[in-house]
Structure 1
Amino acid sequence: MKALFKVLLSTVALSLSTLAAAAPKGEVLVVLSSETALPLRDGKTFPSGYYLNEFGVPADALQRAGYRLTVVTPRGNRPQADQRSVDPQYFRGDAQEMKRIAGVVDQLTQPNQVHSLPEVIKGGLDRYAAVFIPGGHAPMIDLANNPLVGQVLRHFHAQGKPTAAICHGPITLLAAQDDPQGYEQALGEANTGPARNWIYSGYRMTIFADAEEAVFEASLNGDKLRYYPARAMATAGGDMRFAKAWEPHVVVDRELITGQNPFSDQALAQALIAALAKR
């Protein structure tokens, strides 16, 4: 009887150990755009969305490190990838790795897995250990000018929790100021100055550089962007830091982690995981 009791105790202990090992280290909020049509000058638009690697590579790394991800968009709809990003060049030329990461993203963005901003805010932000904002031009559409996004960013800023954004994702940081909608409108009219009460004013940061943006704009067959993100961030009050075009580059300042371009995906993931490990 005693031997059986010992076996049962051992089995329970092993089960608890297994559950503990499987339990997530924490939950990371992933903020993505609801939109797919980037406004250009003269009322034109261009198809947009998130960049597959900028979302998928850090997301995969976070999951492998033991973190659970919660995906949110302003409207709670399923976000869409920019089809230009479905290209092996963003995966070190490895088409099989691209396919694997696409599968990771597909699982994370199933319709029943995506939440709306109001829903996530109402549910409480204290549960999240960090916030991550992938790139692609889509954040310029409905994140940078979104007061609810600003509310989310202020929470993580006040708590000193890691806030990571890559490529065009850092433009979202402009939401955390007095009048993000008015400011974004003024950017398109080239009629603005420093952002008022911007929580990241003076932070060292990076974003898709002007030289890189010029290459993208040249592919628009003569159409023009409403504004360049790097100039907008500098004007708002960011202390901008850049590497050479297309080189991986990540800047860390306090809780803020920013990556310059699509090729900064792995470095940004490592920096975010390291920041989470310190908490």
Structure 2
Amino acid sequence: MADNIKPILCVVTSHPIRGDTGEPTGFAMVELTHPLDVFQRAGIPTEIASIRGGHPPIDFFDLSDPVNDKFWKDKKFRAELADSKILADVEPSRYSAVFFAGGHGTMWDFANTGAVQRVIREIWEAGGIVSAVCHGPAALVNAKLSDGSYLIAGKKLASFTNDEEAEVKYTNVVPFLLATALEEHGAQHQPAPNWTEKVVVDGRLITGQNPASAHGVGEAVVDQLTAKA
């Protein structure tokens, strides 16, 4: 069933430091591995890209999570992660969907990177799926379609909430508040209570609120791709 589905492009941040704190950050491991697990179980090929290519910085590196542990022991995954594609070099027409993993690093390099905006626009306008989880929707903040409109304008979505940002005490560290920035460009943000799973599907836009939502975002992407196949 998945044989004729083009790969899913999984994108992670290349930003290693959390603002002025000096604390290391990067992409949240669980927010990449859990969707990857879902995609692979469905037999859909995947490729990993990052903003600058090469080995991306990892945040929330928790090997007590069995899915994280499984992938970290997988030499093929480790090799692909270490040699992640430079996002600006990818050809969007090769992919059925793009998925943006979260982690605080995304707040410094997703929103204002031209390659992010190009990949989103071209995959969306070709009829593909655009998906993201937690801080991953930072990629959507400034994404515009060919007509100049914001992709998220008028669309329902989920992302890391301002309340969750306050709870982890990074409100004054991140360069902007994600939920607020999305709303300012017309998104209808759909928050759930802190740390509870929340996946929002609005047509081909699929988003999740936090790490607990990563698996569900993956499932929603697979459901759409296999329904069309």
Q: TM-score, normalised by structure 1?
A: 0.74
Secondary structure of the corresponding residue to residue 30 of structure 1? strand
Task: Quote the Cα distance in structure 2 between the aligned partners of 1:85 and 1:237.
Answer: 34
Which consecutive segments of 4 or more residues in structure 1 shift more than 6 A? none
Q: For 1:73-152, list aligned pairs within 5 A.
A: 73-82=50-59, 84-86=60-62, 88=64, 91=65, 96-104=66-74, 105-111=77-83, 114-120=84-90, 124-152=91-119
Larger radius of gyration: 1
Report % sequence identity: 29
CA contact (8 A) 2:152 2:185 kept: no
Task: Quote the Cα distance in structure 2 between the aligned partners of 1:78 and 1:227.
Answer: 26
CA contact (8 A) 1:57 1:101 kept: no
CA contact (8 A) 1:147 1:175 kept: no
CA contact (8 A) 2:19 2:173 kept: no
Task: Quote the Cα distance in structure 2 between the aligned partners of 1:86 and 1:61.
Answer: 19
Counterpart check, 1:209 vs 2:158? no
Give the equivalent residue in structure 2 for 1:255: 204
Task: Quote the Cα distance in structure 2 between the aligned partners of 1:99 and 1:118.
Answer: 30
Deviation of the 1:250 alpha carbon = 0.2
CA contact (8 A) 2:107 2:174 kept: no
User: What letter is aligned with 1:202?
Assistant: G
Give the equivalent residue in structure 2 for 1:17: none
CA contact (8 A) 1:167 1:262 kept: yes
Give the equivalent residue in structure 2 for 1:166: 133
Q: TM-score, normalised by structure 2?
A: 0.88
Task: Quote the Cα distance in structure 2 between the aligned partners of 1:46 and 1:177.
Answer: 32
Report how many aligned residue pairs link the two structures. 224
CA contact (8 A) 1:249 1:259 kept: yes
Counterpart check, 1:28 vs 2:8? yes
Secondary structure of the corresponding residue to residue 170 of structure 1? helix
Task: Quote the Cα distance in structure 1 between the aligned partners of 2:2 and 2:140.
Answer: 33
Q: 1:54 aligned to 15, 31, 38, which one?
A: 31
Q: 1:37 aligned to 5, 17, 20, which one?
A: 17
Task: Quote the Cα distance in structure 2 between the aligned partners of 1:174 and 1:22.
Answer: 31
Task: Quote the Cα distance in structure 1 between the aligned partners of 2:103 and 2:79.
Answer: 19
Q: How far does the alpha carbon of each residue in 1:41-72 deviate from its partner, in whole angstroms, 9 at most, with x for none?
A: xxx44311111111001011101211111111
User: What stretches of structure 1 of length at least 5 have no aligned partner?
Assistant: 1-20, 179-195
User: What letter is aligned with 1:37?
Assistant: I
Task: Quote the Cα distance in structure 1 between the aligned partners of 2:79 and 2:43.
Answer: 16
User: What letter is aligned with 1:200?
Assistant: I
Q: CA distance change for structure 1 residues 22 and 243 in 2, over 3 Å: closer, same or farther?
A: closer
Which protein is richer in helix relative to its size? 1
